[in-house]
Amino acid sequence: MTASKITDVPTIPTLPDREELIRRLLSDQPLLADTPDHLLQIVNVLDSYGIVLDAYSRNLVNQGETQLLNPFPVMRFFHEGFSVERLWQHLRGDRINFEYAEYCQKAMFWHGTGGMDAYFDSEPFLETCQKIIALRSRRDPLLALVHRLYPGFAPEAIRSMATIYALGLFWRVMSDLFLDLSRKYRNGEIVSVNDAVHHIRDGLVAAAGDPMTYKVTVGNEEVWVLPPEAGLTFLVDVAVPYVEAVFFRGMPFLGTVSYNAQARQISADIGDFKYGALYADPIPSMGAGIPPSLCMQDMYRNLPEELSDWYMSHGRGMHDVHVQICISFQKSMFCVTNGAISGTMPHPLDTTDADQQQANRAYAESWSERLMGCQRGALL
């Protein structure tokens, strides 16, 4: 009598729990599994995203320079100049979808975290707003009337434009960082996911202290909206609030959940929002009103050949390419978050000081708590 043959049952990978996430953060291991497929996806999708961010950045910076207190900014997407050809391309959707950039800006502005938002409530900023409004009102009777009737309207518009400009500066750095990552990958300098995370971390740290300033010309006078003396910097005041607002909190998309208060599909506390990129189900609807779908389309138009070929042999090829891009993009955003966490650790990971080690662990624990609710399946 022969013993029955037992076939090996493949092991189903388990989602990393909180302790595992803490261990990876404290041992300088990437949150995303370090595999060749993951490396190919994140580098190439960030290459595409870097091209898109270049356009987003140029547009937002131009808006900050030309559209402040413009009541009808219908030409805000034509920063490269207006022509009948560009208008036709715009109308039929043959263009970069800057609406996604505006979604990210609105998320940052609405959630209002970080030092920039605190500065918006300061007396110097409020005085600057009144100065700009007074200068503009000399030639803009409509603004003078609106400000008299609704005194909070124009300052709020200036706050929003300052956020637009700051986000444009932030994306300038990130675009260059992602395109440089792709260049190093092609040159053989990036050979693992951890190398990619280190590249992002080092880039964020290098730009950490870059000042976030914003100056406009009103009439013949230059006015600082975000002056150097405000002390606003790249990492703490823009990058980290961006991660908080866009990667974690986000905003519920119209048409996907009910805004009816009685339905209670949306939390009354925006601090509990979990609509960010790290929580999202990778199912772009490709509806015009869903901002991530617009971003996926922008990246699709700029996909590197290596990633296009990879998609052809995975999933359903080009039939579900936007879903595949969304999955790769989410993986890459975990790497960006990973780099941001590593770059803001209180102390070096190789410290031997017990108090510093404890501070690092407490920091990693706070982030792991946030990450537990995210799409941890993307990390496998």
Residue 206, burial from CB neighbour count under 10 angstroms (0-12, 13-18, 19+): middle
Q: Is the pLDDT of residue 287 over 70?
A: no
- Is the pLDDT at 83 greater than 80? The verdict is yes
Give yes or no for residue 322 having a pLDDT over 80. yes
Q: Determine, yes or no, domain membership for 239.
A: yes
Position 178 in a domain: yes
pLDDT score recorded for residue 4: 46
Q: Which amino acid is at 338?
A: N
Same-domain status, 177 and 287: yes
- Based on the domain organization, do 185 and 303 belong to the same domain? yes
Q: What is the pLDDT of residue 230?
A: 96
Q: Which tokens go with 344?
A: 């803001």
Would the pLDDT of 143 be above 90? yes
Rounded CA-CA distance 39/59 in Å is 30
CB-count exposure of residue 122 (10 Å: 0-12, 13-18, 19+) = exposed
Same domain for 87 and 204: yes
pLDDT band at 178 (very low <50, low <70, confident <90, very high): very high
Position 154 pLDDT exceeds 80:
yes
pLDDT of residue 259: 86
Q: Which stretch of DSSP H or E encloses residue 224?
A: strand 221-226
Rounded average pLDDT over 343-366: 97
Q: Taking residues 201-228, report their average pLDDT.
A: 96
Q: What pLDDT is recorded for position 9? A: 53
Q: What is the mean pLDDT of residues 54-60?
A: 97
Is residue 123 predicted with pLDDT exceeding 90?
A: yes
Highest mean pLDDT out of 181-185, 239-243, 260-264, 317-321: 181-185
Determine the Cα–Cα distance for residues 113 and 238; give it in Å rounded to an integer: 9
Residues 248 and 289 in one domain: yes
Give the residue numbers spanning the domain of 52: 33-69+76-114+162-208+235-343
Q: Residue 159: which of 73, 64, 93 has the closest Cα? A: 64
Task: Note whether 268 and 319 are same-domain residues.
Answer: yes
d(CA 48, CA 371): 25
| Same-domain pairing of 269 and 367 | no
Structure tokens at 137: 């009102």
Question: Chain-wide mean pLDDT for the chain?
Answer: 92
State the DSSP code for 253.
P
Least confident of 131-140, 205-214, 283-292: 283-292
Give the Cα separation of 214 and 129 in Å (integer): 13
pLDDT for 64? 97
> If pLDDT is split at 50, 70 and 90, which confidence band does 155 have?
very high
Please state which of the ranges 18-32, 40-54, 262-276, 323-337 shows the lowest mean pLDDT.
Answer: 262-276
Single-letter residue type at 116: M
| Percentage of the chain exceeding pLDDT 90 | 78
pLDDT tens profile 217-238: 998 899 999 999 999 999 999 9
- Determine the pLDDT at residue 6: 47
Angle at 95 between CA 162 and CA 63, to 5 degrees: 15
Contact predicate 166/238, CB 8 Å: yes
Q: How far apart are CA 338 and CA 171, in angstroms?
A: 18
Average pLDDT over residues 301-314: 95
Same domain as 180, residue 278: yes
Same domain, 52 and 176: yes
* CA pair distance 56, 67, nearest whole angstrom: 15
Q: Alpha carbon of 95 to those of 61, 296, 299, 307: distances in Å?
A: 18, 13, 12, 21
The per-residue pLDDT for 268 is: 87
Q: Using the 8-state DSSP alphabet, how is residue 217 labeled?
A: E
Predicted local confidence at residue 284, as pLDDT: 60
pLDDT of residue 10 exceeding 80: no
Query: How many folded domains does the chain comprise?
Result: 2
My answer on whether 360 and 326 are in the same domain is: no
Is residue 143 domain-resident?
no
DSSP 3-state of 252 = coil
Q: Which amino acid type is present at position 185?
A: Y
122, part of any domain:
no
- Judge whether 323 and 299 are in contact, CB under 8 Å: no
Helix or strand or coil: residue 313? coil
Residue 22 to residue 31: CA distance in whole angstroms: 9
Mean pLDDT value across residues 192-220: 96
User: What pLDDT sits at residue 149?
Assistant: 96
169 and 21, same domain (yes or no): no
Give a yes or no: residue 138 inside a domain.
Answer: no
Structure tokens at 210: 């870059």
Residue 172 has pLDDT above 60, yes or no: yes
Are residue 251 and residue 339 in the same domain, yes or no? yes
Query: How long, in residues, is the chain?
Result: 380
Q: Say whether both 359 and 239 belong to one domain.
A: no
Amino acid residing at 270: I
